[in-house]
Amino acid sequence: MTQITTAAASEIELKKSLDTCNMIRSKLQDKTACIGVVGLGYVGLPLVEAVHNAGYSVVGFDVDQTKIDQLNAGQSYLKHLGGDLVSKLADSNKFEATSTESDLTRADVVVLCVPTPLGKHREPDLSFVIKSTELAARTLRPGQLVVLESTTYPGTTRDEMMPILERSGLKCGVDFFLAYSPEREDPGRAGVSTSQIPKLVGGVDENSTDLAMDFYTRVIDRVHRVESAEIAEAAKLLENIYRAVNIALVNELKVILDRLGIDIWKVVDAAATKPFGFQAFYPGPGLGGHCIPIDPFYLTCKAKETGYTTKFIELAGEVNAQMPGYVVSRVAEALNRSNKSIRGSRILILGIAYKPNVDDVRESPAAEIIEQLVHHGANLYYHDPHVASFPDMRKHQIDLESVPLTANELKAADCVLIVTDHDRVDYDLVEREASLVVDTRNAMHGVEHANATIVKA
């Protein structure tokens, strides 16, 4: 009797699951589905654009009321996306920006695009994922697909999110569905939109994967299905660990080759002529952005639970973390050759964003470099055409504002330190008017060095 009852219950659940899947799929097919995006930052807002362009109604949610007000007023707070996007969204009857969580009940698909930073001891901080999942649970109803896009360690979607969502009394795979699809945003990359960047999709069950594929294939040009959420989570970590390790390799080589009097940039360019078995990575003043300095340690922490130490990842982290200090030492050496010390010198920093041509300073090595130089007694000021004032950061509070890049400012500097190689910087002017330039990005490559002393760091 028990076996019959169990079999009958299983049959009922299967039918309910298929009916719910078909309901969501039908809405996706005829474009009547509403898509909710939680977190309207560097990942969420470009996704809103892609979904909106695909013809869906979008509810954009963020706890930051300032962002909501700016979006509804057609004002952009992410300069690299341009003003056309937000003005288009503000004028559209298919987009609503809100900080009212009950508005998410209208969404058939809810995509979480929230930060996943590190804690004080480089441990994963899932607080934003947990809070946004709790939000999704409070507004969860039958017939919803929930997708996480935030980078995290394998098992987060299944082990952390699913139990929270099921506290609603709804069952995953029957009443609602759950999947993971890692973001692959590259802020400032010209000519490439979110819809053009290939997507990975993996669900906690087959139906969840099917529905996530149905959604993303209608929004993104190329979507790759993987067997599980865990594979998608691990793949995202591998992408950024690969970059972190290889950047650490060239950063370490830079230090060695500098001492041998060999130009690392020329070495990398030479090696890059090999058409197979080599991919060029370039050195810099340290890692920045929300991905490469952070994501590898999500796997490091998870690996420790299995009793394994991720030696490559941790060594790469150590090498890259030492680069701001190396840059400061090169500035000191360059000033010493001019019979000056860091203490009392005027040092102009060119670029504080973590990468060229964006206004994003998250984890930027410029912050650590500036604090070290100030600690040594330097008089610091900076120019960045994309960042008018140094924003508050989790680890740094720096009270500086960008100065105009003029001949007088350059002449007044004892040293000009290039940290970020923005295209909008006039490097010919720098060469003409500066007396000493320490270049961490090879930005002065190709500039005639008739006046300034150029030191690569």
| Residues noted as catalytic | 291
C-alpha distances in Å from residue 308, one per residue of 304, 312, 367: 5, 12, 33
For 380-403, b/e burial (b = at least 16 CB within 10 A) is bbbbbbbbeebeeeeebebebebe
C-alpha distances in Å from residue 279, one per residue of 157, 243, 271: 32, 10, 9
- Using an 8 Å Cβ cutoff, are 327 and 440 in contact? yes
CA 238 to chain centre: 15
311 Cβ neighbours under 8 A, 6+ residues apart: none
The amino acid present at 39, given as its one-letter code, is G
Pairwise CA distance, residues 363 & 291, whole Å: 9
- Using an 8 Å Cβ cutoff, are 153 and 300 in contact? no
Please choose, from the candidates 130, 86, 135, the residue with its C-alpha nearest in 3D space to the C-alpha of residue 107. Answer: 135
Pairwise CA distance, residues 109 & 24, whole Å: 9
Per DSSP bridges, beta strands 199-203 and 379-383 are unpaired
